[in-house]
Every structure is written in C-alpha cells, then in structure tokens.
Amino acid sequence: MSKVIVAPSVLSADFGNLERDIQMLNSSEAEWIHIDVMDGVFVPNISFGFPVLQAIGKHSKKVNDVHLMIVQPEKYLQQFRDAGAHMITVHYEAVTHLDSVIHQIKKTGAGAGVALNPSTPVSVLKEIIHLLDLVLVMSVNPGFGGQKFIPYTINKVKETKALILASGSPAKIEVDGGVGLNNAKELMDAGADVLVAGNAVFKTENPVETIRQIRNIGTK
C-alpha cells in the first residue's frame, strides 16, 4: 500500500514559537501543512488571519493547505493565495454559489477543495466532483482541535472514494478531526489520501517521529 500524506494542523502549534514549529514540520515527512482559518461566524471559534498565514507561508517548505471555516470565502481568495496557500478549501455549508467559487479558486492558481461537515451527505458533491482537487471529509464538527473522532464519517470516506472512482475525478480525499495513529490505517483503507492531525502530532513527545509513524502506517 502507498504512503499517506500527513498534514499536521498548525492550530495545535505553539504560536509563541511558530517559526520553530514550522521548521520542525519542514524537517519531517509531512508533505502538507494544514492551516485552519476560523471566523467566529461559520464556526464558534476564531483562529487567525493573514499576518499569521503570511508568517507560516514565509517559513513553510511544504504544501500549504488552507481550510477556510469562514462565511463569504470568495471575498478573500486572492489574498489567501498571495499569503502562500497552495490548496484552498471552502465549506459546502458556507457557500451559496459553489461552482463559481471553485472556479475562482482555480483562477488564483491554487488547488480547489470542498469540505463537508459530518452531517452533510457526500451526494451533494455529485455535480461538481470532476472540478475538485480535494474533498475534505470533516470527522468532527469544525471549530476546535482535540475533539473526538466521529466514527460514522468513515463510511463517508468510502462513499467519497466511490464517487471519485465513478466520475474519474482527480480529487484527493482528506480527513480532518480526531485523526491519529489509532485510526489512520482504517481511514487509509477507506480511501483517505491525506490525514490532518493536530493534537495527535503536536501533543506527542516527538512530533517528527509521530508524523513518520502515521506516514508509514499503511506500509506495514
């Protein structure tokens, strides 16, 4: 089995030592860095905005994977791109004209992703799946790191995989929330290509080693 892409979430990083933590990720086997932007409207929490993103973008040597948990993301797409985003993911639940927003993301040169809350069915992506570079399956309700994984979302990963195979879409599947060494293998088997891990990486003694273990979990 091939290796999974690990996307450590900087939401769990030490913001007083952000450069140190980004350099740590640069030295690790993580291929992506997951960056959670929260507006206190779409989700009940506020994370950070452009100055922090620019600081991450300045030091990161990885794919900067920006997860927008904000309303009206279309207002800021170019700014996120300019701040260093390689992948820009918007929430299905936060956008009215999704087809248009996906095209706007692609116009910036970034990859386009759509995230689904746990309660949103995969079938809502049927008409647009061929346009996407990424489907983000939320395995917790978005807003906070360190939550418990919701088991029924594994089935959504399988459904997303089936939709991608049936449509011929190049989209990758990313799973976000409560992911760690305990469920990484099961998620890979279900079809996940990218695993976001916040607490499971940053709250361990040796994050670089934990990233290596998650990355290689399917090769055992």
The residue from 4, 12, 89, 191 that contacts ligand DX5 (CB under 6 A) is 12
The residue from 21, 133, 174, 176 that contacts Zn ion (CB under 5 A) is 176
The residue from 53, 122, 134, 196 that contacts ligand DX5 (CB under 6 A) is 196
Q: Which does 133 bind (CB under 5 to 8 A by kind): ligand DX5, Zn ion, none?
A: none
Please tell me the distance from the alpha carbon of residue 66 to that of residue 68, in angstroms, as a whole number: 6
Please tell me the distance from the alpha carbon of residue 218 to that of residue 208, in angstroms, as a whole number: 17
50-59 and 18-26 helices cross at what angle (nearest 10)? 40
The residue from 4, 6, 11, 30 that contacts ligand DX5 (CB under 6 A) is 11
Indicate which residues carry an active-site annotation: 36, 176
* β 134-138/5-8 pair status: unpaired
Indicate whether 118 belongs to the interface with ligand DX5 (CB under 6 A): no
Is 216 in contact with 2 (CB distance < 8 Å)? Answer: no
* β 5-8/172-176 pair status: unpaired
User: How would you class 114 by CB atoms within 10 Å of its CB: exposed for 0-12, middle for 13-18, buried for 19 or more?
Assistant: buried
User: How would you class 182 by CB atoms within 10 Å of its CB: exposed for 0-12, middle for 13-18, buried for 19 or more?
Assistant: exposed
* β 32-38/87-91 pair status: unpaired
Indicate whether 90 belongs to the interface with ligand DX5 (CB under 6 A): no
Indicate whether 67 belongs to the interface with Zn ion (CB under 5 A): yes
The residue from 199, 204, 213, 216 that contacts ligand DX5 (CB under 6 A) is 199
Indicate whether 197 belongs to the interface with ligand DX5 (CB under 6 A): yes
**Which of the residues 18 through 37 are near ligand DX5 (CB under 6 A)?**
34, 36
Indicate whether 67 belongs to the interface with ligand DX5 (CB under 6 A): yes
Q: Using CB under 6 A, which of the segments 52-60, 78-86, 145-153, 182-190 binds ligand DX5?
A: 145-153
Indicate whether 84 belongs to the interface with ligand DX5 (CB under 6 A): no
Smallest gap from residue 176 Cβ to ligand DX5 (A): 5
- Sheet with strand 63-69: strands edge to edge: 5-8, 194-197, 172-176, 134-138, 111-116, 87-91, 63-69, 32-38
Chain residues binding Zn ion by CB under 5 A are 36, 67, 176
List residues binding ligand DX5 (CB under 6 A). Answer: 9, 11-12, 34, 36, 67, 140, 142-147, 176-179, 196-200
